[in-house]
């Protein structure tokens, strides 16, 4: 899924998809693993599967290009695919940034153009992006135990948030 989103804020949540994005306009704060990270224009961020995160706008609205990539897309690459843990922030000056940022922008252009065979172009650019991310310092394969704990915590948080969203207007009784 390819999204262009005006980001003002997004409450804490997690999802089973890998998310790769870049700030197109403005700046915002990403809260990831309880760390507040300021993202500027052209910074690339990665939200790993089941990683709890939120966004807060910094003043004016920011525009974000985000790719949510289901693990089915890359399941045949490796038996460890569920446990890929990519580096979270790639800044303008970082090695590999320009190619990664270029891949994301070109993929979005191809996706929205809907020219013949755009799916092949997008897939090749996303696979190249995954390859770049895998080779970056800070990327690793986590243990089965760490993956299970991360997944369980995220699913639990999502259930709590869903319950709150459904019942927030009900009176609270301490009986």
Q: What is the pLDDT along the chain (175 residues), one digit of tens a residue?
A: 999 999 888 889 999 999 999 999 999 999 998 899 999 999 999 999 999 999 998 767 799 999 999 988 988 887 787 788 999 999 999 999 999 999 999 999 999 999 999 999 999 999 999 999 999 999 999 999 999 999 999 999 889 988 988 988 888 788 7
Spatial CA neighbour of 53 closest among 3, 14, 1: 14
């Amino acid at each position: 899924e390819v999204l262009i989103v005006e980001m003002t804020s997004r409450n804490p949540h997690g999802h089973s998809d890998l998310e790769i994005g870049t700030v197109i306009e403005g700046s915002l704060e990403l809260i990831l693993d309880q760390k507040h990270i300021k993202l500027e224009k052209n910074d690339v961020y990665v939200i790993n599967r089941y990683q709890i995160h939120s966004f807060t706008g910094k003043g004016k609205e920011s525009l974000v290009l985000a790719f949510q990539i289901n693990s089915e897309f890359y399941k045949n690459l490796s038996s460890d695919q569920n446990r890929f843990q990519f580096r979270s922030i790639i800044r303008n000056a970082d090695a590999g940034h320009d190619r990664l940022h270029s891949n994301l922008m070109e993929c979005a252009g191809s996706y929205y153009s809907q020219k013949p065979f755009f799916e092949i172009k997008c897939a090749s650019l996303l696979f190249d992006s995954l390859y770049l991310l895998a080779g970056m310092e800070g990327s690793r394969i986590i243990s089965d135990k760490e993956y299970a704990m991360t997944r369980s915590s995220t699913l639990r948080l999502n259930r709590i948030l869903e319950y709150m969203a459904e019942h927030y207007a009900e009176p609270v009784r301490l009986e």
